[in-house]
Amino acid sequence: MKSFLASIRASSTRRFFLAWALALASAIALPIAGVGGEVEQQFQNLRSDLLEKPASGDIAIVEIDAKSIQALDRWPWPRDYYAGLVEKLSAADVAQIAFDVDFSANSTAEQDMAFAEALKKSQAAVILPTFKQEETSNKGSYIESLPIAILRDHAFLASVNVHPDENGQLNDYSYGTITDGTVRPSMAAMIAETPGNIDKNFSIDQSIDPATIPRFSFVDILRSTEPIEALKGKKILIGATAIELGDRYPISLHGVLPGVVVQAMAAETLLQGTNVQNIGYLPSLAFAGIVLVIFTMRRSRSENSLVPAALAIAAILFILLLVSEYFGVVTFSNVPALFFLGILLIADKFLKTNLALNRSRFSNADSALPNEPAMIEFIGRCEMSNIAVARLSDFGDLLVVTDKDSRIDLFKNLAERLKFLAAEERIFHLDTNIIGWVVKQDYANDISGHFDTAVALFHAPIMAGETKVKLNASFGLSGESIDKAKIASDQAIAKSKRWALHDAEAASAIGQKQNLLVEMEQAIERKHIWTVYQPKWNLRENRLDGVEALVRWKHPERGMISPELFIPILEKAGRIDELTLHVLQSALDDLSIWNAQRPGLSCSVNISAQLLDDIAFIDKAIAMVGAANLDNDHIIFEVTETAALADLQLSVDALERIRNAGISVSIDDYGTGQSTMSYLQRLPIDEIKIDQSFVKTMMNDDSNRLMVKSTIELAHALKLKVVAEGIEDQPCMDMLTEFGCDVGQGWHISKPVSSQGFKTNWLDSITTEKAVRVQAV
Ligand code: C2E
Ligand code: MG
Ligand code: MG
């Protein structure tokens, strides 16, 4: 569970960083691509609006307005009008007089002289404008138009050039210009007496309300008889405001303004010191980026906390900028940071949706376990895959007793229980009642053991919410595909086997079916098929009890072939009788010899399910036993529980026939079918053999231990002998002895051995009945 959460968290962190990188890259790319200027300006306007303040009042404009033009008959005005104005302003004791009027051409000598005379006499310093302009005859080179020489002698010069942006707006203003090596401060810099970095720009502070700059009409001053008190000490800027004179520029917050007002605003900006340094967009972008990373790293980020976090950062940046601009510290751009936050939210949302979609595409809605497409993808990554599926039987009944939530719980518990059988511990939920996994490499050479364990794990009751349920399943195996494994699980049901390998693969594992049948006869002749014996130990009397005959086939090309592979094929082809009779004959031959040395040994022989229907076979088998030099009751026929119960009457008849001949009957693999002991009682049997899947796991599994114990008690009550197969260690054997089990069989006692091996290791070396058990090789 912990690792599941960790993986969810890891994937959400990965997703965040992907979105983060994407957003950062776009936020840096946008200003480079020139996107966002307009947004930037709108934000600037918003701040200017909020920070609105009046002009200082130190700068006043003398307007060449419509009223003045009307009042003073002709246009252009003779220069003595300007001379008169300078005299009046000087008399009013102004601090400075700056003209935004072009005096670069001569008028009449008399007029020019009059104006020059007035400049000379002025108490206040006078600034006259210069214009930098492109030469008409020589494109790309610039000249500076200066006031005519006679005027220049008595005035300072300042540049009135302005530089509208790509939208034609005049939001920035320069500290000065350089033309052909000549440095010229700008008019605003000269008025404010602020030296700046020539050729650098600053933003005009639009929070200064242009309407609060004092204005006087040219004509009013010219015609005043007394010095105007309001002008005293002010810096005067003279320029055209009459619409008919043109010279108007749009600025973003205040719309179209006369050039002279823009000059005054620029000078006010410098005077008020709000021409703060612009530190660009990187600091705010870095702030947003770093805060978000820290926020994520500290895990305080729940799935939906990104939006409030981004909004909080945007608000902090806005307030920071507002405060900084208010106190004239610095200014910076927030727009790339806002782009970053916006794109991050969109990208995160997109990736989140994508992830959720992927998750739902690869998980089963009924269990939240990974589904079939996920398994197909997983198989693609595995080098070698034995695909196993478990088909849960009686799923309909389970649906009745459980609700959806408890089934989710059930599948989760089942996956947890089965995971150590599976590669990378991954269990998949393929269909309503089918789960699957890739068999772990550790089990590659013991597929049978793998399924035995799976059976045992399924048998133990499992929790589905509050309900305890018992599951049954049939298992299928394929080395090729999930579908084939599913088919194999069906075949397992049909064959009453715990598990089955997909038919075609089983056939190809041992050659073509046809070949196999031909080969079988030769194999018997050439002794490629032979019988081995697995000793059975009498647990009550602590002595050798007998053996089980098990067939072996060593193919010259394919090596050892498991009986679990070739027996189903022979059964299907109707040729199992020949093989069984061959095994029986070998067993009788060997047992006759052994009995001379050790009287009383028994031998079990496995009889396939379908042979119970075959009276001819049964008679042949009985005759064969009769012909041997043995007591018939030393032979036991093992039939599987499901086989014996397939057609009860037929089985009863066949088993009666066998028992009447004195041969004992044992029920093999007891516990793997559905029947109860009392039902089995209707059959004429002598013994039951508890299936190894219960015995192998009984030390660790309470319910399997209980099953073994109660089976022994019940069987004894019914006067049946009990054999336990699959004993793999001493504690298991001790416990079975304690439970009163009659006979034990398993690798702990001995693996199946050849007849010669059995004689050497089990008969020749054990001289007394109570001899210590010898471990066979
Ligand atoms: P079975 O009759 O239940 O035989 C027991 C199987 O369990 C044998 O596998 C045996 O080697 C194995 N076994 C015994 N003790 C242990 C143990 O402690 N641990 C583990 N993991 N396995 C143990 P085998 O020889 O591969 O036979 C498998 C099945 O093939 C048999 O199951 C039986 O159904 C069938 N079979 C074998 N020989 C014949 C035969 O001659 N005729 C027929 N019809 N079927 C046969
Ligand atoms: Mg058997
Ligand atoms: Mg068995």
Distance of CA 298 to the CA centre of its chain: 20
Q: What is the pLDDT of residue 775?
A: 40
Q: Is 562 in the pocket of ligand 1 (CB under 6 A)?
A: yes
3, pLDDT greater than 60: no
**Binding site membership of 567 for ligand 1 (Cβ less than 6 Å):** yes
773 pLDDT band, cuts 50/70/90, is: very low
Best residue among 531, 553, 566, 606 to mutate for probing ligand 1's pocket (most ligand atoms within 8 Å of CB) is 606
Q: How many domains does the chain have?
A: 4
Contacts of 129 (CB under 8 A, 6+ apart): 99, 100, 101, 102, 103, 147, 157, 158, 159, 160, 187
Are 525 and 595 within one domain? yes
- Nearest by Cα to 691 from 705, 671, 677, 673: 671
- Closest ligand 1 atom to residue 725 Cα is 15
CATH number of the domain that 683 lies in?
3.20.20.450
Boundary of a domain, candidates 255, 271, 287: 271
Q: Comparing 710 with 650, which gets the higher pLDDT?
A: 710
DSSP letter for 72, please.
S
> Which range has the worst mean pLDDT, 232-241, 298-307, 555-564, 643-652?
298-307
pLDDT digit string, tens, across residues 34-73:
777 778 788 888 888 888 889 888 999 999 998 999 888 7
Q: Please give the full DSSP string across 630-660, using - where no structure is assigned.
A: S-GGGEEEEEEHHHHHHTHHHHHHHHHHHHH
Task: Using alpha carbons only, give the angle 256, 142, 138 rounded to the nearest 5 degrees.
Answer: 115
Q: Is residue 367 part of a domain?
A: no
| Domain C-terminal end among 470, 501, 532 | 501
Nearest ligand, measured from the Cα of 670: 3
Q: Which residues surround ligand 3, an ion (CB under 5 A)?
A: 668-669
Q: Which residues are bridge partners to 637 per DSSP?
A: 605, 665
- On the question of pLDDT at 587 being above 90, the answer is yes
- The 10s digit of each residue's pLDDT in 167-183 is 788 788 889 888 878 88
Distance of CA 463 to the CA centre of its chain: 30
Amino acid code (one letter) for 42: Q
- Indicate which atom in ligand 1 lies nearest the CA of residue 532: 25
Residues 325 and 384 occupy one common structural domain: no
Whether 564 lines ligand 1, by a CB cut-off of 6 Å, is yes
383, pLDDT greater than 50: yes
Cβ–Cβ < 8 Å for 753, 761: yes
Any ligand 1 atom below 6 A from CB of 583: yes
- For residue 431, give both structure tokens: 């269909």
Nearest CA to ligand 1 atom 44: 608
Ligand 2 centre from 638 Cα, in Å?
A: 6
Looking at the CA of 641, name the nearest ligand: 3
Position 122 scores a pLDDT of 92
Residues 473 and 526 in one domain: no
Alpha-carbon gap, residue 356 to 350, rounded angstroms: 10
**Residue 448 CA, closest ligand 1 atom number:** 21
What sign has the CA pseudo-torsion 736, 740, 741, 746? positive
Residue with the nearest Cα to atom 22 of ligand 1?
726
Q: What digits encode the pLDDT tens for the residues 667-697?
A: 998 987 767 777 778 889 999 999 998 998 8
Helix (H, G, I), strand (E, B) or coil at 142: strand
Q: How far is the CA of 550 from the centre of ligand 1 (A)?
A: 6
Does residue 623 lie in a domain region?
Answer: yes
Assess if residue 776 is contained within a domain.
no
Same domain, 303 and 420: no
The confidence score (pLDDT) of residue 777 equals 28
Q: Ligand nearest 728 Cα, by number?
A: 1
- Sequence-separated (6 or more) residues with CB below 8 Å from residue 464: 398, 402, 406, 407, 409, 410, 413
Which atom of ligand 1 is found nearest the CA of 747?
18
Instruction: Report residue 336 as tokens.
Output: 């790339």
- Residue with CA closest to ligand 1 atom 43: 606
Max mean pLDDT range (221-225, 441-445, 546-550): 546-550
State which of 725, 745, 749 you would mutate to test the pocket of ligand 1, scoring each by most atoms of that ligand within 8 A of its C-beta. 725
The 10 Å Cβ neighbour count of residue 101 is 18
Co-location of 323 and 391 in the same domain: no
Q: If you take atom 10 of ligand 1, which residue's CA is the nearest one?
A: 752
Q: How far apart are the first and last CA of the chain?
A: 45
Q: What is the mean pLDDT of the chain?
A: 86
Tell me: do 618 and 704 sit in the same domain. yes
Query: Considering only 106-115, 147-156, 557-566, 705-714, which range has the smallest mean pLDDT?
Result: 557-566
Calpha distance 705→741 (Å, rounded) = 13
Q: In this predicted structure, what is the pLDDT of residue 524? A: 84
157 beta partners: 128
CATH number of the domain that residue 472 is part of: 3.30.70.270
Whether residue 106 lies inside any domain: the answer is: yes
List, in sequence order, every residue forming a beta bridge with 208; answer none if it has no partner: 53
Q: How many Å lie between the centroid of ligand 1 and the Cα of residue 448?
A: 10
Same domain as 65, residue 101: yes
Decide whether any atom of ligand 1 lies within 6 Å of the 550 Cβ: yes
Closest approach atom of ligand 1 to CA 452: 21
Residues 579 and 652 in one domain: yes
Q: Work out the number of other CB atoms within 10 angstroms of the CB of residue 360.
A: 11
Among the candidates 215, 238, 271, a domain finishes at 271
Contact between residue 191 and residue 97 where contact means Cβ atoms under 8 Å apart: no
Whether the ω angle into residue 227 lies within 30 degrees of 0, i.e. cis, is no
CB 557 within 8 A of CB 509: no
CA-based nearest residue to 598, from 535, 665, 507: 535
- Reduced to 3 states, what is the DSSP secondary structure of residue 262? helix
Ligand 1 touching residue 726 (CB < 6 A): yes
- Please state the atom number of ligand 1 nearest to the C-alpha of residue 745: 15
In the predicted model, is pLDDT for residue 100 greater than 70? yes
Nearest ligand for residue 752 CA: 1
For residue 548, how far is its CA from the centre of ligand 2 (angstroms)?
7
Q: Quick check: is 335 in a domain?
A: yes
User: Is residue 642 in a domain?
Assistant: yes
Q: Is the CB of 563 under 6 A from ligand 1?
A: yes
Q: Which of 774, 697, 708, 699 is nearest to 741 (CA)?
A: 708
Residue 108 shares a structural domain with residue 217? yes
Tell me how far the alpha carbon of residue 200 is from its chain's centroid. Answer: 51
| pLDDT confidence of residue 2 | 37
Quick check: 594 and 554 in contact, CB under 8 A? no
Q: How far apart are CA 570 and CA 568, in angstroms?
A: 6
Closest CA to 633 of 669, 658, 670: 658
Pairing of strands 664-670, 687-690: parallel
Please state the φ and ψ torsions of residue 635, each to the nearest 5 degrees: -110, 135
Residue 761 corresponds to which tokens in the numbers above? 């290791």
Span 295-330, pLDDT tens digits: 777 755 455 678 888 899 999 999 998 898 888 788
Q: For residue 772, is pLDDT > 70?
A: no
Residue 692 beta carbon below 6 angstroms from any ligand 1 atom: yes
Q: Is 328 left (phi over 0), alpha (psi -120 to 50) or beta?
A: left
Q: Which atom of ligand 1 is nearest to the CA of 562?
A: 26
Which ligand neighbours the alpha carbon of 561 most closely?
Answer: 1
Ligand 2 centroid distance, CA of 669 (Å): 7
- Confidence band of 265 (pLDDT split at 50, 70, 90): very high
Spatial CA neighbour of 609 closest among 494, 446, 701, 507: 494
Ranges 314-318, 344-348, 508-512: which has the least confidence: 508-512
* C-beta of 737 in contact with ligand 1 (< 6 A): no
Residue 159 has pLDDT above 70, yes or no: yes
Q: Which of 497, 534, 550, 748 for mutating ligand 1's site (highest number of atoms within 8 Å of CB)?
A: 550
Q: From the CA of 552, how far away is ligand 1's center (Å)?
A: 10
Place of tokens 């020489």: 149
- Same domain assignment for residues 615 and 742: yes
Domain annotation covers residue 775 = no
Taking the C-alpha atoms of residue 364 and residue 699, their distance in angstroms, rounded to an integer, is 34
Is the domain of 497 the same as that of 400?
Answer: yes
Q: Which atom of ligand 1 is nearest to the CA of 638?
A: 2
Q: Are residues 348 and 392 in the same domain?
A: no
**pLDDT value at position 108?**
92
Look at residue 11 in the predicted model and tell me its pLDDT: 64
Q: pTM for the full model? A: 0.49
Gap from CA of 549 to ligand 3 centroid (Å): 12
The count of C-alpha atoms lying within 13 angstroms of the C-alpha of 591, restricted to the half-sphere facing its C-beta, is 32
Q: Where does the pLDDT of residue 359 fall: very low under 50, low under 70, confident under 90, or very high at 90 and above? A: confident
Structural domain of 434: 372-501
pLDDT at 4: 37
| In-domain check, residue 297 | yes
* Closest ligand 1 atom number to CA of residue 695: 18
CB of 580 sitting under 6 A from ligand 1: yes
How many CA within 13 A on the CB side of residue 216? 26
What's the whole-number mean pLDDT along residues 219-236? 90
Beta strand 142-145 pairing with 125-134: antiparallel
Q: DSSP secondary-structure letter at 729? A: S
Q: Left if phi > 0, otherwise alpha if psi is -120 to 50, otherwise beta: which for 514?
A: alpha
Contact between residue 36 and residue 339 where contact means Cβ atoms under 8 Å apart: yes
